[in-house]
Structure 1
Amino acid sequence: MTIRGVSLDAVLRAVGGAFVELVLAPVDQEIFVDAVVLMETSDIECPRRRAGESSELWLTVAVGATELAAWLNKLDQSGKPPRVVMSKVAADESVQVAARRAGTALIAVHPGSAWDRLFTTIQGMLDHSVSRQDSSSDVFGSGTDLFELAQNVAALTRGMVSIEDERSHILAYSASDDAADELRKRSILGREGPREYLRKLQEWGVFEGLRRSDDVIEVPADDELAMRRRLVVPIRRFTENMPGANNFGADLLGTIWVQEGQRPIAGDAGNVLCGAAAVAARLISRIRDAPSNEAIQIQRLLGLRGGGVDIPSLAAALTIPVSGPALVIGVAGIGDGGLRPLGELASSLRLHASAFHRESLVTAVGARIYVLFPRTQSVKATVSWTREVIVRLGKVSQSGLRAALSSPVATLADVAQARAEVDRVLDGTTGDVRVTTLADSRTPVLLGEIVGRIAEDERLHDPRIGALDAYDKRNASNMRESVSVYLRHSGDVRRASQHLKIHPNTLRYRIKRVEEITDIDLSDPAARLLMEIQLAVSARSTGKSFVT
């Protein structure tokens, strides 16, 4: 009998003892899993999702001890429990009792661990478990990804490996053991190196050495920082025609680090790291420099190139599933600056999206970047990842970044609709909230669209607003601003006058004068509503905000 999947022991080794701990497992059983699923409270509460498959490993995201224990007890009575559950509340006695009764292995997850990183690591193992090509001619294998590369380098160097981008953000890492030092633990949990460690590496000249040379650099142990010995090598963009023996250019893509563990780092680790750097350069460059043909296919799928779309053919060409929930994210700049530099940001976003979701697709169109996540496992985890990457990449953008997420759609046939929803949100919001959805921003989005429709039809323009503007221009007055603030404060003279920093009687005089100029009775609710809409339409035509 052939057992498909990955053993639980292998999963625990890959994720690392610093981040997870086996709490209980069925006695005298070797456990294998062949699928990993991110589950939230809403998924557990949904009857059709209560029963798992016996070979599944479930990551229970933001699920409390009470809910988790109750769910496991229900499965014990009427369903088929998953093989393994990972939870941050596994230490709760009620959860352990319920898991033992259901025959489910229970793993405690470190409170600081990121669910999306755990998911990516385990999914990467499963993707490579069914069939592996004999790669004796290439020590890293032609199908290697960043996570598997980290695992292979760790095995060959006898250390613990992390692969980082050029800004010291973790892209992939190997399993950790009890010898993982504080720098490694905090880097993986926080996705980037702690500032005090990065500052010390800067003082030691490590980063300068990585910029100037392709050589492997040794970083000695430091007792004060509780940091063990390390080796690090730069990852540079691979260029075919670069003169010189190393064939690498000056474009630094990132670094590979090896931390010494319970055994000394292997003597030939330097050669292994140099070879791994070349492989990592190809992998990272392939992600950042996606072929233009692929970009066109993605844009067609998103409905950005018009015409009919053969969804099954596009899905096959892009090697993504046709069915299953999908989600689209749109990224734009804040203000009028747009996204600069667009290409570099799209490449960085593509790299981070690929590390989070292996099947992700990224393309840049105009002043926006779109990310498609087919077969979305967890909306909550995707929102969390989006918030993090917007902050991270926003640091290198001139104007800062904002993002909108679509509602999940059932199949790829609905992806164009999801992209249109994202554009609606980006068009109707300004970036006061960096990451949002249509559900969270429906008021500004709908109001903006209503004002836009009115602005496009001159028959719906009220000429009386023009009379108010003409009066202000002739008399160098600010009647328009005064009535805008008055309406914004629902006719509350005291609050509006405080905002304008004038006496209430002065504002009363101005409102009366506005009524005379426009022949609009502002005591009439319908007239006030019309005035507010017309002021917004007029402000839109001049490029100003209609909210003063």
Structure 2
Amino acid sequence: MSDPLKTWTAQEERTSLNSTGRPLTLAGLLESLGAPLLTPLTGSRGLAASISVPVIHDPLDPLPETPGGILLLVGMAPNHEALNDLIARAAEHGFGAVVVKNRGKAPDAAHLAHAALPVLVVDDQVPWLHLDNLITAVTSGRPAGSNAANSHGEDLFVLANALATATDGAVAIEDLDQNILAYSNLERHTVDPLRRSGILARQVPQMDKNADQYRSVMLTDSVVHFPYDPDDGELPRCAAPVRAGRQMLGSIWVIEDKATLGPDGEAAILEVARLAAIHILRSQNAVDLERQVRTEWLRSALEGHGSDPATSARFGLMEGVSPVLLGFKFAPLPAGKAPGSAFPLTRQLALAAEQYCSIFHPNVSAVESGTMVYVLVPAIGSEQAAMRLAGGASGAVAARLGCQVDVAVSSVEGSLLGLVELRRELEDVVRVLESPGPHRGAGRVVGTKEVNAALLLDQLERVLRSRPRLVHPGVRELLENDAASGTEYQSSLCAYFAATGDVALAARTLNVHPNTLRYRIKRATELFGLDFSTGDEQLALWVQLRVATGRTA
């Protein structure tokens, strides 16, 4: 590495190691985690304050001194009479915000109007430890993931600070999607609003000039300089590509607020780009390998293969705690509408669904299978919680990908041995969703309870098709007669059974005179030997007539 990089001090090295990301503001945390997770109850007041680390707190324990801390108040609802006093004490101990759960009750805004700190509410379904992990990942300046991936992320922050020392300018390291992987945090360097916004969002702001700038960087092997832009106040900066051989991995950007970098500074950028490529590749490989292992393991488990104890350990399945399986599938496009050139792939659907569900539950895994994406949530509290999660995921994924998504929800029951059965349940629900009928729609979230009758009829249809001898001979003759002669015995009898024997109601449904319907029913019994004398006979005949031709009525 060039000499300028060796001049960084031991103190700066400790700073970059101990604070891999510059402390965020509370607004930056909310933007990073997203609205579905945390919602401010006290408006915009205090959102500009810096934050440090989350602290899970029991109100019976003494408060620690935690400057900028985020106090996670376990067991205290927003309307608790002692909440304001506890918030005041938290402010005295240096905390920057508090987080509570609604516990099923609407918060009283007036009760919190004079709170000493911003109050955030988290969804009741999010475990406190999971929220603690998510906030820690954001405030530490790196994404949640494996230990290996995090260690490589720390190395990138070290490199960013080292390069910032050598070039005397603020540094950012980005991936190909313009996500900011690491950045320097030396206070003496000037930054512009664009840089500040990008750091808070961990994403480069979208601007018309981005495409041209990144194209210039990606097409070169050297350093590209960009002048000051008076239109948006962007300071002059330079950039170099990060490559591993021919594989493009990202870019490095340095603000040149004092002077244009010379040959030594450019050499330092290119050397750091070479080192950054190694860390990015290792980090990507660690994350991708873990995701690939979980994906293939889940695929195997859904097909009934693998060791049950090992699979339970891998996904956090526990005896007596119910998992739920969600099935995501792109909803059919309206008739005559073709998908655009940017129509998302199933892989994008899998990533979006997994990321959303991971906000609320740990150890979530996803796997693609044909046009379906299966998401396993190892532990869920109830069927209602599963439907809420699926509903939120449907809306969030549709907004992110720009197209409607159907979500099938399995029964909230079973154990590891039931995963295969849960997959089959979802396949049955999806088959019902894709069939003609009142349940058909775009962007539906459907569990087995909502389509129980259709699922049962679907299974009976399969049984009758595989065992045709179970079909009453008279039903076969009736259907053949309808097909050959154009009679309407099947629809007439189905309407009669659906109306529970009310001839007038059934006749109105068919738009015929009641006497016409009575004549058809009488002729059906005479011609085909059908018996309506008992409830069992009526039920059996109705089911056979409903399912024999695809459940038409």
Question: Structure 1, residues 24-60: CA drift from partner, whole Å, max 9, x if none?
Answer: 89xxxx9853559xxxxxxxxxxxx999997996879
Q: 1:383 aligns to what?
A: 390
Q: Deviation at 1:363?
A: 3.1
Give the RMSD, CA atoms, in angstroms: 6.6
- Alpha-carbon distance, 1:309 to partner: 1.9
Distance 1:309 1:466, change over 3 A: same
Contact 2:354 2:364 in 1 (8 A): yes
Q: Which residue of 2 aligns with 1:304?
A: 303
Residues 164 and 516 of structure 1: is their aligned pair in 2 closer, same or farther, counting only changes over 3 Å? Answer: farther
Identify the match of residue 406 of structure 2 among 402, 408, 417: 402
Aligned-pair CA distance for 1:417? 2.4
Which of 86, 89, 109 is matched with 1:92 structurally? Answer: 109
Give 1:423's aligned residue: 424
Preserved contact between residue 217 and residue 240 of structure 2 (Cα < 8 Å): yes
Structure 1 residue 296: deviation in Å? 4.8
* Corresponding residue SS for 2:119: strand
Pairing partner for 2:479 from 469, 472, 483: 469
Structure 1 residues 74-113: aligned runs within 5 Å: 84-85=98-99, 92-95=109-112, 106-108=118-120
Q: Does residue 329 in structure 1 map to residue 326 in structure 2? A: yes
What does residue range 48-447 of structure 1 map to in structure 2 within 5 Å?
A: 68-70=78-80, 84-85=98-99, 92-95=109-112, 106-108=118-120, 121-125=134-138, 142-144=148-150, 158=170, 200=208, 246-249=244-247, 279-280=279-280, 283=283, 287=287, 294-299=294-299, 302=301, 304-306=303-305, 309-311=308-310, 314=311, 318=314, 326-332=323-329, 345-346=346-347, 349-350=350-351, 353=354, 357=358, 359-365=363-369, 368-374=372-378, 382-384=389-391, 386-388=393-395, 390-391=397-398, 401-406=405-410, 414-417=415-418, 420-428=421-429, 429-430=432-433, 432=441, 434-447=444-457
**Shift in alpha-carbon separation, 1:476–1:509, aligned structure 2, 3 A:** same
| Contact map agreement 2:352 2:397 (CA 8 A) in 1 | no
| Equivalent runs, 1:491-506 vs 2, <5 Å | 492-493=505-506, 495-497=508-510
Question: How much has 1:408 moved relative to structure 2?
Answer: 5.7
Q: Is 2:240–2:273's contact at 8 Å kept on the other side of the alignment?
A: no
Change (3 A) 1:179 1:462: farther
Q: Which amino acid aligns with 2:99?
A: V
Which amino acid in 2 is paired with 1:16?
A: G
Shift of 1:381: 7.2
Amino acid at match of 2:433: T
User: 2 CA distance for matches of 1:265 and 1:523?
Assistant: 96
Q: Deviations over 1:105-138 (max 9, x none)?
A: 6434799xx9999877414258999xx99xxxxx
Contact 1:330 1:404 in 2 (8 A): yes
Name the SS for the 2:433 alignment partner: coil
Residues 54-106 of structure 1, C-alpha deviations (whole Å, 9 max, x = no match): 7996879xx9xx96214866998xxxxx9931579889231367x77xxxx64
Q: Give the residue type in structure 1 aligned to 2:297.
A: Q
Q: Per-residue deviation at 1:440?
A: 4.2
Distance 1:361 1:416 in 2: 17
Supply the distance in 2 between the matched residues of 1:279 and 1:33 (Cα, whole angstroms): 28
CA distance 1:452–1:379, shift in 2 (3 Å): same
Shift, 1:465, TM fit: 1.7
Q: Label 1:474 to 1:123 Cα distance change in 2 as closer, same or farther (>3 A).
A: same
Aligned residues: 455
- The percentage of counterpart residues that share the same residue type is 15
Would the aligned equivalents of 2:323 and 2:380 in 1 still touch at CA under 8 Å? Answer: yes
What's the CA shift for 1:344? Answer: 6.1
Conserved 8 A contact 2:23-2:139: no
- Quote the Cα distance in structure 1 between the aligned partners of 2:470 and 2:376: 39
Distance 1:454 1:402, change over 3 A: same
Change (3 A) 1:331 1:10: same
Residues 356 and 415 of structure 1, relative CA distance in 2, 3 Å threshold:
same
Q: Distance in 1 between matches of 2:470 and 2:290?
A: 47
Report the counterpart of residue 54 of structure 2 in structure 1.
33
1:427, CA displacement in angstroms?
0.8
Distance 2:226 2:254 in 1: 9
Write the deviation string for residues 303-359 of structure 1: whole angstroms up to 9, x where unpaired. 533475224xx455x485868775432335668xxxxxxx96247624762576373
Name the amino acid aligned to 1:383.
Answer: A
Q: Give a deviation string over 1:443-500, Cα, whole Å, max 9, x none.
A: 43344345545655556422222111110232144543454456556663455235xx
Q: 1:349 to 1:256 in 2, by over 3 A?
A: farther
Letter in 2 for 1:247: G
Distance 1:373 1:477, change over 3 A: same
User: What CA distance in whole angstroms lies between the structure 2 residues aligned with 1:523 and 1:193?
Assistant: 74
Counterpart-to-counterpart distance in 2, 1:151 and 1:276 = 10
State which drifts further: 155-164 or 528-537.
Answer: 155-164
Residues 1:534 and 2:541 aligned together:
no
The one-letter code sitting in structure 2 at the alignment partner of 1:328 is L
| Equivalent position SS for 2:303 | coil
2:418 alignment partner AA: Q
TM-score (norm 1): 0.55
**Is 2:13 the counterpart of 1:13?**
no
- Matched residue SS, 1:310: helix
Structure 2 residues not aligned, in runs of 5+: 1-17, 32-39, 87-94, 186-190, 333-343, 435-440
- Residues of 2 paired with 1:219 and 1:446: CA distance? 66
Indicate how the Cα distance of structure 1 residues 462 and 230 shifts in structure 2: closer, same or farther if over 3 A, else same. Answer: farther
One-letter code of the match for 1:92? A
Amino acid at match of 1:298: L
After superposition, the Cα gap between the structure-2 partners of 1:128 and 1:496, relative to the gap in structure 1 and judged at 3 Å, is: same
Task: Choose 66-75 or 326-335, whichever is displaced more.
Answer: 66-75
Q: How does 1:481-500 map onto structure 2 within 5 Å?
A: 481-484=491-494, 487=497, 492-493=505-506, 495-497=508-510
